[in-house]
């Protein structure tokens, strides 16, 4: 009873303060305000979290979705297809989850029960569900999004107004210093002597969703760092579609059911664990849903249903598969799975200066035989509109030792076309390495020459004459001795075939070059699997080995790391070098391996770090050596986010600096700036050759609904 009295008193105080408008606009910089905020920032560190990682609890979530307005564009939103064309405009779902914490103290949910009136029990507005597990004292509230105003590192983004209350309490109003989707408004009731937050409200907008969240925090110990109850109203708007979601989650429930349940749809079990009774409105939604379902079942038992082509084929089959991710398990215990990305998915489209508009797709599947033995297959493909090329990569991976990351991988694909100006210059008698105008001497010296494979465009001709298609096969065995040292051994084969074969046949030169090379690599992870790696590769091509006509020996070293200054602020660094210890026959037709590979565990924060955006490949692939460095700085708000009008849409900013030294470039450098919004990531880059300006370019990729 005492617990509820406390909550009632706090609620009354909280509501009274909501009407104190004059207090909301005060920002007194007095000793009391500073003292309270200092305690709030330090509170999480003052709590004994012993045993928190092993703590297991249970949570109940109930939410209602109301479709106020909808049109055909709603189908384009991932996880919303079922609502877009499903019967009715009101839906209800209930979850019962087992809750644990990861190594960083962030909640991890395992769904035990799930009942829903949404067709096929689809996850709907799943990104909004993340808002129901906020980390109030963390640097970010929801995973990597929304800067928490109650973390010390974020204080420069907020203004605070603190008002003293009776009973040793204080009220804190929080206002963002700038308009941005990464910051929020907040109201909180805190203990003025400890800094413990008792109640807090958040109001903000992110990913086209306006949210209002009210939280009652846990009472004692490490439980006081997490919510005891969370309620939210979310308003989603997109191209005329307006959807409202009402959510409630109750945490800290006792264990009632077995943990062996897995996403079971059992209404009787849900009634047993439900801590909040359904109201009449919610009960009516369930009643209408089950009545309709029973009518359909009776109809199916008595009559053979007529096929509705528009609904059964266009909507349910084609539409569902085109606009949504396809995921399916198979086997008695779901040992196998396959997943196909949506065919119409903006996240798989992008643009770069070299490739133009690129569309990609991804298909993957696997089968687990035992705990240690697993077979995985993936097919990644893409098409470049500017280059008119289809790219593909098919890795087949057999994992045979999970503890030591032991796997055997067979990979086939076609890489970027290799350009070799050196051979073309040799055939045409052109001595200057920077002279790429092959056509004029070619047609003047050979006036009767006809090459139908090439167009009349001079620049296009030059590129096509020196380009070779690259098909590769790589067989690798990987083994990690421990978390810090790994080893690879394998075989790499490339077949490079001239795009314009007649050009090389005219001069009695080979139009196809094959390399077969045994390769070994050593991996060093100084801090374990923490995002830093040093890798050294050795590769030796043997002439006449399995049809090879290339002889070479090469060594490359590469170091990559990400330094997280904070959860949203990071420095990405890549350093590398490569050189040939032997240059035999046709070594010109060999690519540096690590120049392209992204080795860092988990990948970079963005797909552009560690790369050169404007660099033509012919500058480095035939050089005796290379030395390179790439640096990226990422933060939520650097410059553009502080600008009026456009700043509110900026979610992250990045600065890029890249440098390369090869035979004829001392150095080549690129400077870049990129921003991420809810819709796209956009980057601008400027190139300099030997300190002289060499042009600019841009690149963009879609971000819309990435987290959905």
List of long-range contacts for 330-336, beta carbons under 8 Å, 24+ apart: 331/367, 335/367, 335/368, 335/369, 336/365, 336/366, 336/367, 336/368
Q: Beta-carbon neighbour count of residue 306 at 10 Å?
A: 6
In the chain, the largest separation of any two C-alpha atoms, in whole Å, equals 101
pLDDT higher at 449 or 496? 496
Q: Residue 145 — pLDDT band, cuts 50, 70, 90?
A: confident
How sure is the predictor about 264, in pLDDT bands with cuts at 50, 70 and 90? confident
Residue range 393-428, pLDDT digits in tens: 899 999 999 889 999 999 998 876 776 656 655 655
| pLDDT value of position 311 | 47
- Comparing 195-199, 332-336, 684-688, the range with the smallest average pLDDT is 332-336
192-231 pLDDT, tens digit per residue, is: 999 999 999 999 988 788 999 999 998 888 888 889 999 9
Asked which of 118-127, 314-323, 592-601 is least confident by mean pLDDT, the reply is 314-323
Cβ density class 673-702: b for 16+ within 10 Å, e for less: bbbbbbeebbbbbbbbbeeeebeebebbbb
Name the pLDDT band for 85 (thresholds 50, 70, 90). Answer: low
| Mean predicted confidence (pLDDT) in 555-559 | 93
Which three-class secondary structure state does DSSP give residue 288?
Answer: helix
Specify the pLDDT at position 424.
57
Among residues 294, 363, 296, which one has the least CA distance to residue 328? 363
Per DSSP, the three-state class of 647 is: helix
- On the 0-12 / 13-18 / 19+ scale of CB atoms within 10 A, 210 is middle
What's the rounded Cα separation, in Å, for the pair 606 and 635? Answer: 12
pTM: 0.70
- pLDDT tier for residue 18 given thresholds of 50, 70 and 90: very low
Q: Give me Rg for the CA atoms of the chain.
A: 30
Residue 326 has pLDDT above 80, yes or no: no
Mean pLDDT of the chain: 78
Higher per-residue pLDDT: 558 or 357: 558
pLDDT at residue 622, as a whole number: 65
At residue 203, the pLDDT reads 92
Tokens of 514: 């094959």
Do residues 442 and 425 touch, judged by C-beta distance below 8 A?
A: no
Helices (H), 257-408: 267-273, 280-302, 320-323
Locate 461 and state its tokens: 């001709």
Predicted confidence (pLDDT) per residue in 455-466, tens digit:
444 444 455 677
The proportion of the chain whose per-residue pLDDT surpasses 70, expressed as a percent, equals 75
At 536 the pLDDT is 94
> Could you tell me if residue 112 is left (phi over 0), alpha (psi between -120 and 50 degrees) or otherwise beta?
alpha
Query: Phi and psi (nearest 5°) for 654?
Result: -140, 145
Give me the pLDDT at residue 364, please.
85
Q: Is pLDDT above 70 for 37? A: yes
- What pLDDT was estimated at residue 524? 93
Cα distance between residue 691 and residue 118, in whole Å: 60
Mean pLDDT of 687-691: 90
Q: Does residue 564 surpass a pLDDT of 60?
A: yes
pLDDT of residue 672: 92
pLDDT score recorded for residue 137: 92
What gap in Å lies between CA 181 and CA 331, rounded to an integer? Answer: 44
Contact 372, 399 (CB under 8 A): yes
DSSP state letters, 526-557 = TTSSSSEEEEEEEEEE-TTGGG----EEEEEE
pLDDT at 627 over 90: yes
Q: Integer distance in angstroms from the first to the last C-alpha of the chain? A: 41
Lowest mean pLDDT among 26-30, 110-114, 178-182: 26-30
- What DSSP element (H or E) covers 654? strand 652-662
- Answer yes or no: is pLDDT of 435 > 50: no
Bridge partners, 486 (sequence order): 480, 523
pLDDT of residue 182: 87
Residue 441 has pLDDT above 60, yes or no: no
CA angle 367, 370, 373 (to 5 degrees): 70
Residue 75's nearest CA partner among 86, 66, 91 is 86
Band of residue 117 on the pLDDT scale cut at 50, 70, 90: confident
Distance CA 87, CA 67 (A): 11
Q: What is the rounded CA–CA span in Å between residue 610 and residue 467?
A: 25
Contact 495, 471 (CB under 8 A): yes
Whether 416 and 597 have beta carbons less than 8 Å apart is answered as no
Token pair, residue 430, equals 């052109």
> For 491-519, how does the pLDDT look when each residue is reduced to its tens digit (9 = 90+)?
999 998 888 787 777 777 788 889 999 99
Instruction: With CA atoms as reference, report the closest residue to 112 among 269, 251, 268.
Output: 269
Q: Cα dihedral angle (439, 445, 450, 453), rounded to 10 degrees?
A: -30
Considering only 86-90, 395-399, 468-472, which range has the smallest mean pLDDT? 86-90
């Amino acid at each position: 009873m005492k617990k509820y009295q406390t909550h009632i008193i706090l609620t009354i105080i909280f509501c009274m303060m909501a009407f104190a408008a004059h207090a909301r606009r005060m920002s007194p910089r007095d000793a009391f305000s500073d003292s309270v905020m200092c305690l709030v920032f330090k509170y999480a560190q003052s709590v004994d979290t012993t045993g928190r990682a092993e703590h297991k609890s249970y949570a109940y979530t109930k939410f209602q979705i109301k479709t106020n307005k909808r049109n055909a564009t709603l189908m384009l939103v991932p996880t919303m297809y079922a609502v877009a064309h499903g019967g009715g405009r009101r839906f209800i779902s209930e979850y019962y989850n087992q809750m644990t914490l990861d190594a960083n103290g962030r909640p991890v949910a395992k769904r035990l029960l799930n009942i829903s009136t949404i067709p096929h029990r689809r996850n709907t507005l799943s990104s909004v569900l993340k808002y129901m597990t906020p980390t109030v004292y963390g640097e970010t509230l929801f995973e990597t999004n929304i800067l928490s105003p109650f973390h010390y590192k974020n204080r420069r983004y907020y203004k605070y107004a603190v008002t003293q209350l009776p009973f040793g309490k204080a009220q804190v109003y929080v206002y963002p210093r700038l308009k941005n989707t990464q910051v929020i408004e907040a109201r909180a009731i805190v203990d003025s002597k400890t800094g413990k937050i008792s109640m807090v409200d958040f109001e903000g907008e992110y990913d086209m969703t306006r949210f209002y969240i009210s939280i009652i925090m846990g009472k004692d110990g490490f439980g006081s760092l997490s919510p005891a109850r969370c309620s939210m109203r979310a308003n989603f708007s997109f191209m005329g579609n307006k959807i409202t979601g009402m959510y409630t989650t109750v945490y800290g429930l006792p264990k009632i059911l077995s943990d062996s349940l897995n996403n079971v749809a059992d209404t009787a079990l849900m009634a047993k664990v439900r801590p909040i009774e359904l109201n009449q409105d919610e009960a009516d939604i369930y009643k209408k849903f089950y009545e309709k379902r029973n009518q359909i079942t009776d109809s199916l038992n008595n009559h053979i249903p007529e096929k509705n082509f528009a609904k059964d084929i266009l909507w349910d089959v084609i539409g569902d598969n085109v606009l949504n991710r396809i995921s399916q398990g198979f086997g008695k215990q779901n040992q196998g799975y396959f997943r196909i990305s949506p065919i119409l998915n903006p996240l798989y489209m992008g643009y770069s200066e070299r490739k133009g508009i690129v569309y990609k797709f991804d298909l993957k599947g696997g089968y687990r035989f035992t705990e240690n033995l697993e077979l995985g297959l993936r097919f990644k493909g893409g098409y470049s509109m500017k280059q008119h090329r289809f790219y593909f990569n098919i890795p087949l991976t057999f994992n045979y030792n999970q503890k030591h990351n032991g796997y055997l991988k067979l990979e086939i694909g076609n890489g970027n076309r290799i350009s070799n100006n050196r051979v073309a210059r040799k055939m045409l008698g052109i001595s200057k390495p920077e002279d790429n105008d092959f056509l004029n001497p070619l047609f003047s010296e050979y006036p009767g020459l006809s090459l139908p494979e090439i167009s009349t465009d001079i620049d296009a001709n030059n590129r096509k004459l020196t380009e070779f298609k690259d098909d590769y096969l790589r067989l690798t065995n990987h083994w990690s001795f421990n978390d810090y040292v790994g080893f690879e051994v394998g075989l790499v084969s490339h077949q490079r075939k001239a795009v314009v074969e007649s050009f090389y046949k005219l001069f009695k030169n080979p139009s196809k070059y094959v390399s077969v090379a045994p390769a070994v690599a050593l991996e060093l992870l100084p801090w374990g699997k923490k995002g830093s790696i040093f890798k050294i590769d050795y590769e030796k091509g043997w002439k006449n080995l399995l049809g090879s006509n290339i002889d070479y020996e090469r060594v490359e070293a590469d170091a990559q790391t990400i330094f997280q200054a904070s959860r949203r602020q990071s420095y990405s660094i890549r350093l590398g070098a490569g050189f040939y210890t032997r240059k035999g026959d046709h070594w010109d037709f060999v690519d540096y391996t690590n120049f392209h590979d992204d080795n860092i565990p988990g990948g970079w924060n963005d797909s552009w770090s560690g790369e050169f955006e404007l660099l033509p490949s012919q500058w480095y692939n035939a050089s005796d050596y290379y030395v390179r460095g790439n640096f990226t700085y990422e933060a939520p708000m650097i410059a553009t986010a502080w600008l009026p009008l456009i700043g509110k849409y900026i979610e992250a900013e990045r600065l890029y600096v890249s440098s390369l030294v090869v035979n004829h470039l001392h150095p080549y450098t690129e400077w870049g700036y990129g921003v991420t919004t809810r819709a796209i990531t956009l980057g601008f880059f400027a190139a300099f050759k030997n300190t002289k300006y060499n042009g600019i370019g841009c690149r963009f990729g879609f971000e819309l609904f990435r987290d959905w």
